[in-house]
């Protein structure tokens, strides 16, 4: 939290090209919305004053009203696009073995739907039910898993639009994605799923932006990190609370590959990862 605050508190020349994103697994970082009046006397000892900093708080759209009822200050709803999930994402999220009959059915179904374009969980369920190659008990098991996923309140459906990277990541602002509504010891690791998908989207977006920045710097004779001009897509600092749950020593979660990619390759496109 302190690092994110200081990044947004940098001089405008620097802060206008840096965005911070905190994956809040414990539901505690929303307090950054408020000035630190509690430690006002301590700040005075260092010639500092409580200060408002730009913070945006996102919560899963299915739990938005519950946050409001608790009086927690929130700014926007967050939703994932089902279409962006591959069959392996679902298999890992559901904790299945890759050669499990249910996994094989899921892989066949997702592959078929991706050929058709946009789809939602309701389309997945109806396609599962129409599969004629699979025994009924396996189809019922797969359908039950997706019916459970539909209750998580995280996948866009109806009039709810998926959250874009540009909306989630804003220059000179700390964005907080509150995932504390999802239990760390539950059957499904929803928090790891969100971290995985968002990390991949940010990585791809920054890879594209990096190419544009390099082309621009060559044409103008400038290094892409210098010049003081505001960039279209800011560099990103990502903060993950309780990171050991998503990068465990002896097993793999759905977030593992995405986070390892950031650790190995994130520097070049301009992504910093704080665990």
Q: What's the CA angle centered on 200, arms 120 and 223, to 5 degrees? A: 140
Q: In 61-133, which residue ranges form alpha helices assigned H by DSSP?
A: 64-69, 87-93, 101-114, 121-129
Same domain, yes or no, for 148 and 12? no
The model's pTM: 0.88
CATH number at residue 245: 3.40.50.300
Q: Which of 75-79, 221-225, 230-234, 263-267 has the lowest mean pLDDT?
A: 221-225
Backbone angles phi, psi at 37, to 5 degrees: -70, -25
DSSP annotation of 176 reads E
Nearest to 144 by CA among 126, 123, 125: 125
| Residue carrying the six token digits 């990103």 | 236
Whether residue 75 is found in the same domain as residue 91: no
Same domain, 254 and 118: no
Residue range 56-85, pLDDT digits in tens: 999 999 999 999 999 999 999 999 999 999
Which stretches of the chain are assigned E, i.e. beta strand? 18-24, 55-60, 76-78, 174-178, 235-240, 271-274
């Amino acid at each position: 939290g302190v690092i994110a605050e200081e990044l947004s508190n940098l001089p405008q020349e620097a802060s206008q090209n840096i965005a911070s994103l905190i994956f809040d697994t414990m539901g505690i970082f929303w307090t950054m919305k408020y000035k630190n009046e509690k430690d006002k006397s301590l700040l005075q000892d260092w010639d500092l004053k409580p200060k408002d900093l730009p913070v945006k708080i996102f919560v899963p759209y299915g739990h938005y009203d519950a946050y409001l009822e608790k009086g927690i200050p929130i700014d926007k709803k967050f939703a994932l696009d089902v279409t962006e999930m591959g069959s392996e994402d679902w298999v890992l999220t559901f904790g299945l073995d890759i050669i499990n009959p249910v996994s094989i059915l899921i892989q066949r179904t997702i592959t078929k739907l991706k050929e058709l374009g946009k789809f939602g969980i309701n389309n997945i369920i109806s396609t599962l039910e129409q599969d004629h190659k699979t025994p009924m008990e396996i189809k019922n098991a797969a359908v039950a898993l997706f019916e459970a996923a539909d209750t998580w309140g995280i996948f866009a459906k109806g009039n709810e639009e998926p959250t874009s990277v540009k909306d989630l990541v804003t220059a000179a602002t700390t964005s907080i994605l509150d995932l504390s509504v999802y239990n760390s010891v539950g059957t499904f690791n929803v928090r790891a799923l969100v971290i995985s998908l968002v990390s991949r989207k940010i990585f791809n977006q920054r890879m594209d932006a990096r190419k544009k920045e390099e082309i621009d710097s060559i044409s103008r004779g400038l290094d892409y990190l210098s010049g003081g001009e505001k960039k279209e897509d800011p560099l990103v600092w990502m903060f993950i609370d309780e990171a050991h749950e998503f990068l465990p020593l002896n097993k793999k979660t759905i977030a593992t590959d995405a986070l390892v990619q950031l650790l190995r390759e994130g520097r070049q496109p301009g992504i910093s990862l704080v665990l």
